[in-house]
A = this chain, B = another copy of it.
Amino acid sequence: MKAPARPIRRATLHHSAVEELRAMILDGELPPGVRVPEVQLCEQLGISRTPLREALRVLSSEGLVELRPHRGAIVAPVDPGEIGAIFEVMDALERLAGTLACRNGSDAEFTKLDRMHDQLVTQHEAGERAAYFLTNRQIHAQIVAMARNPALEATYAGFAAKILRARSLANYDTGRWQESVDEHEGFMAAFRRRDAEEAGALLADHSRRTAVAVIQALRQPAVQEGGAVASAAPMDVD
């Protein structure tokens, strides 16, 4: 999602470290609140402290880690209030994405979107939860990409990451699944009509309802299965 147009190879260690650490945080491998000892991660990643520290600064700028001067870095805790605020912005971004996608998306992209939606429905009917979540994320990413707006894309990706992390901590209400699919049917119908306003409105509404469900789920923390970390596979459901 953050990959720019030009496929330049970033061969620097600190850049690799950023991606590695971000993945570890989003995967829940580094759960919120844990301290991030530099030396330990250094030998774990096989790099020195310098590039690791540079990576930590970047992740701090992204809001994924929290730097406390002379007290070490911790993985940023997930604050339900902050998630609520993020969703308020996300609603607006989803609306904008839907509107712009209608205006700027190519017919080929809309066709692809239709196929992805069909796949989503199939996976829902089959009860393939993990596959559904992945397809769902891809659909929203596709809509954002069709908006042809790099600034929107980058901002969206940042918020999506934080929301993803919040979800990995919460037991998601299964009852919302059917409702969510229905909402997807709704804005897909608007997309097929190229109704920009309606598509945007339905996407925003979809986001808002998702927010309610997620925040409610956050009040009932997920049961920690197995070892120490929540579910290994991060999932995104809208």
Known interface pairs A50-B50, A54-B57, A62-B61. Does A88 touch B11 (Cβ–Cβ under 8 Å)? no
Chain A positions 84-105 with a Cβ under 8 Å from a chain B Cβ:
85-86, 88-89, 92-93, 95-96, 100
The smallest C-beta distance from A61 to any residue of chain B, in angstroms, reads 4
| Contact between chains at B69 and A151 (CB < 8 Å) | no
Residue of B nearest to A83 (CB): B151
Set B54, B58, B88, B151: member contacting A88, Cβ < 8 A:
B151
Q: Majority SS of interface residues in chain A?
A: helix
A88 to B149, CA, bound (A): 8
The smallest C-beta distance from A222 to any residue of chain B, in angstroms, reads 23
A202 to B218, CA, bound (A): 35
Residue of B nearest to A91 (CB): B96
Q: For A55, what are the chain B residues with a Cβ–Cβ distance below 8 Å?
A: 57
Q: For A93, what are the chain B residues with a Cβ–Cβ distance below 8 Å?
A: 89, 92
A159 to B155, CA, bound (A): 10
Q: For A179, what are the chain B residues with a Cβ–Cβ distance below 8 Å?
A: none
Judge if A72 is at the interface, Cβ distance under 8 Å: no
Residue of B nearest to A150 (CB): B85
Give the one of A11, A58, A95 with max B CB within 10 A.
A58
Known interface pairs A10-B69, A53-B54, A69-B11. Does A149 touch B61 (Cβ–Cβ under 8 Å)? no
| Contact between chains at A82 and B151 (CB < 8 Å) | yes
Judge if A78 is at the interface, Cβ distance under 8 Å: no
| Contact between chains at A88 and B10 (CB < 8 Å) | no
| Contact between chains at A88 and B61 (CB < 8 Å) | no
Judge if A12 is at the interface, Cβ distance under 8 Å: yes
In the assembled complex, 13 residue pairs joining A and B whose CB atoms fall closer than 8 Å, in A order, are: A12-B69, A15-B69, A57-B58, A85-B149, A85-B150, A86-B151, A88-B96, A88-B152, A89-B152, A92-B92, A92-B96, A151-B159, A155-B155
Which residue numbers of A lie inside 8 Å of B, CB to CB?
A: 8, 10-12, 14-15, 50, 53-55, 57-58, 60-63, 69, 82, 85-86, 88-89, 92-93, 95-96, 100, 149-152, 154-155, 159
